[in-house]
Structure 1
Amino acid sequence: MLFKKYILSFFLTFSLFGFSQPTLSPKSKISVLTVGTADELYAKFGHSAIRVQDPALGIDVVYNYGHFDFNTPNFYTKFTRGKLLYSLARESFEGFIYGYQLENRWVKEQDLQLTVQERNDFLKFLENNHLPENRFYKYDFLFDNCSTRLPDALQTVLGTKLSFDYTHLENQFTFRELIHQNLDVNSWSNFGIDLALGSVIDRKATPWEHQFLPIYVFKQLPHATVDGKKLVSKERTLLKEVPEEKNSNFLLSPLLWLSILSILVCLITLKDYKAKKRSRYLDFILFLTTGLAGLLIVFLWFGTDHQATAKNFNFLWTFPINSLIAFFLLKKGALAKWISIYMLLLLICIGIALTLWILKVQIFSILILPIVFALIVRYSFLIYYQRSARVH
């Protein structure tokens, strides 16, 4: 029965919009839908969409700027390089709400207080955006996403009649602080995001820029006016999240495993120091891993269109050249004389990174501290090992 309702809704929507844009009646309504967060990384930041209803015409559709196609050629390559195109999708409200019901995510609705003419202008804007030649756009996590498109659309349609009041914002946050509001500090997603995103996200976001997160659009709309009248006339909850017991598994957390790794490196280094030898395979793994991480950071900075990955000083402690040095350290025998100079350079780079952190040029993940400590210990040992070998 449910499947039949979806089919009927689809054909009804297609018949109404397939040939020309309908004229909305006085009974019509336009609202903003805000969707809560979920555990999966793609759902950590919520979602926003626009609902258009008109019982006189039998219309109840949702315009969603967060659509992308997994079947896009070279999908993962384009996604990684920031070249993946998102699009505006139009779907039935019934299908939209059912999907989030399955995901156990709350959905709230805010009715917009618009005149019939403004509603028709808004629908015309959305339908024009939905044309095949207009619906695609290059997604940007901070500056052009499903959430930022909503205030942009309102401003385009309403022009100078629309006014935003930001006095409700008690604090202005940096982009990184805003991202952290949706992430657990001791999580792999938080660690990965802080590793991949650069210092550009450590500046204060303007009140307008806070709206890259759907929850801030939701909070802002009640403080907006059109010709001096409140933009939001009514607010309701369409779906409630069913409380579920969430178990945080410390055994899988990055803090635990990175600390274990750090302790292991330090213990092996202590053993090497006492035995006056060097564990070649440890050095190979350590340098190759940090080097590859550094190469990825540099690639995200210079080889992609992502704005948020620029000026990422995480490369100072991961250091891309380590991926090459790893193979020199795998060789048996005495270390080359330049190795101690290179290790000193690495220690200086770590010092610069920590200084940038203290000066708040870039806020690094607190989770890197165990790794950085292990690297300092190992680099210092390699300087000692190379110099003591020369003496003997």
Structure 2
Amino acid sequence: MKARILFFTISLLLGVQALAQAPQLSEKSQISLLTCAAGDELYYAFGHSSFRVQDSVLGIDVVYNYGTFDFNRPNFYLNFVKGKLIYSLSRRSFDDFLFEYEMEKRWVKEQILDLTLEQRNQLLAFFENNYLPQNRDYLYDPLLNNCSSITGDILKDQFGDAIVFDGSYLNEQYTFRQLVRQFMNINSWSMFGIDLAFGSVVDRKATVQEHMFLPYYAMEQIRHTSLNGKPLLKRERSVLDYDEHIQQSFFPLSPLFWFCLLLGFTALITYFDHQHKTRSRWLDFTLFLLTGLVGTFLLVLWLATDHTSTPKNFNVLWAFPLNAIVAFVFIFQDKLPQWLPKYLWTALGLIGLMLLLWIIKVQIFSPVLIPLLLTLAIRYVYLLRYSKL
């Protein structure tokens, strides 16, 4: 018995290189799903999921964590923008894993799975094989392939049709955008940025299993999952019992406050422009340039990256990429060109089309955008009137 314990200890320190080296668990072993509370940082905002393997006979207590990433990896931020972000499976002792959540006072719940010894050994062999250097990295997707969605994928991969995910606990099947919004303040810069980057593809309803990309839903799903006709969940307990972190908000720092401020400023400047029959070049240049640059970035996310959540993004209808070029007309030309009224009518029409797509729910946009859309509309209409002077 001591030899087996020593073997597994060495494998933890040096890393196993072959599937055959995985130890055989004893009858005292158990495998569980750990769900960790949401934290204050954006990448902790939805919580976390990991697998725990313990065997008191062999002295094993380790966590297999599919949510490991490295900021120092070459081209980390570029790969994030391109949709080529690499996450890894890590393996560490349960005590080390728990220390971080203890320090941040985030609750941790454990769901012990009702598995036969054969099934437990099957899962351990799978984890060990995944942990090999050539297998541990995977292409991260925030909605379809993350530390939590992998939970359902692994169970399905290992046990096939014997695993049944019962979705009766859901009041309704939500869209991906609705699911994300449940965990974030809609009037926050983080949620505004997510809404801005997400295309219409995330406004489809997620399947029952796809809801598991959120750890809280994965935890609830385990309570409503069966294996070979029997409940998968054996028992559940709280490992760390802390209160839920509440997101603090301060309205003067929110996007809605600043967009309303911009709307008021633009309306005031436009009124003075109308009174003096002039135009504020720098205001128009700034509005057109910024919306054009935002639209160009969104178009790149749509057409030139591997993100699955950014295609078909109709935010480009108001953040029109050509605005970035037209902006320079307002700086370098005293008299507005003859083609500008047609362009402005087109820009207004695109905003109207965007609103129509919103009404018929082709894409759901951030309500924080409303004062920004009014800002653009006010300036477009004024420039149309000014071009006739």
Partner of 1:255: 256
* Aligned-partner residue type, residue 362 of structure 1: Q
* Aligned-partner residue type, residue 360 of structure 1: K
Q: Does the CA-based 8 Å contact 2:53-2:63 persist in structure 1?
A: yes
* Aligned-partner residue type, residue 64 of structure 1: N
Q: Which runs of 5+ in 1 are unaligned?
A: 1-8
Matched, 1:232 2:196: no
Q: Does the CA-based 8 Å contact 2:37-2:244 persist in structure 1?
A: no
Q: Does the CA-based 8 Å contact 1:13-1:59 persist in structure 2?
A: no
Partner of 1:14: 13
- CA displacement at 1:104 relative to structure 2: 1.9
Matched, 1:126 2:127: yes
Distance in 1 between the 2:123 and 2:255 partners?
Answer: 46
Paired residue secondary structure (1:255) = helix
TM norm structure 1: 0.93
Paired residue secondary structure (2:314) = coil
Greater alpha carbon shift after TM alignment, 324-333 vs 17-26: 17-26
Partner of 2:49: 48
Paired residue secondary structure (2:334) = coil
* Aligned-partner residue type, residue 140 of structure 1: D
Partner of 1:220: 221
Greater alpha carbon shift after TM alignment, 14-23 vs 319-328: 14-23
Partner of 1:203: 204
Partner of 1:31: 32
* Aligned-partner residue type, residue 364 of structure 1: F
- CA displacement at 1:254 relative to structure 2: 1.0
Distance in 1 between the 2:237 and 2:12 partners?
Answer: 25
Q: Does the CA-based 8 Å contact 2:29-2:54 persist in structure 1?
A: yes
Paired residue secondary structure (1:318) = coil
TM norm structure 2: 0.94
Partner of 2:4: none
Distance in 1 between the 2:70 and 2:312 partners?
Answer: 30
Cα deviation 1:96-131 (Å, max 9, x = unaligned): 111111222111000001011110000001111111
- CA displacement at 1:172 relative to structure 2: 1.0
Partner of 2:82: 81
Q: Does the CA-based 8 Å contact 1:147-1:211 persist in structure 2?
A: yes
Partner of 1:279: 280
Q: Does the CA-based 8 Å contact 1:13-1:61 persist in structure 2?
A: no
- CA displacement at 1:305 relative to structure 2: 0.5
Greater alpha carbon shift after TM alignment, 166-175 vs 285-294: 166-175
Cα deviation 1:162-214 (Å, max 9, x = unaligned): 22222121211111100100011211111111101000011111111111111
Paired residue secondary structure (1:225) = strand
Matched, 1:329 2:313: no
* Aligned-partner residue type, residue 340 of structure 2: I
Distance in 1 between the 2:163 and 2:240 partners?
Answer: 29
Paired residue secondary structure (2:109) = strand
Distance in 2 between the 1:89 and 1:130 partners?
Answer: 7
Q: Does the CA-based 8 Å contact 2:40-2:245 persist in structure 1?
A: no
Q: Does the CA-based 8 Å contact 1:10-1:92 persist in structure 2?
A: no
Moved over 4 A (4+): 9-12, 15-19, 242-247
Distance in 1 between the 2:105 and 2:289 partners?
Answer: 42
Change (3 A) 1:317 1:15: closer
User: How many residue pairs are counted as aligned between the two chains?
Assistant: 380
* Aligned-partner residue type, residue 340 of structure 1: P
Q: Does the CA-based 8 Å contact 1:165-1:223 persist in structure 2?
A: yes
Distance in 1 between the 2:54 and 2:306 partners?
Answer: 37
- CA displacement at 1:243 relative to structure 2: 6.6
Greater alpha carbon shift after TM alignment, 372-381 vs 148-157: 148-157
Cα deviation 1:345-388 (Å, max 9, x = unaligned): 10000010000001110000000000000100000111111112
Distance in 2 between the 1:79 and 1:222 partners?
Answer: 33
Cα deviation 1:221-256 (Å, max 9, x = unaligned): 111112222111110111122477864211111111
- CA displacement at 1:301 relative to structure 2: 0.5
* Aligned-partner residue type, residue 76 of structure 2: F
Partner of 1:174: 175
Q: Does the CA-based 8 Å contact 1:16-1:22 persist in structure 2?
A: no
Distance in 2 between the 1:251 and 1:199 partners?
Answer: 30
Partner of 1:111: 112
Partner of 1:291: 292
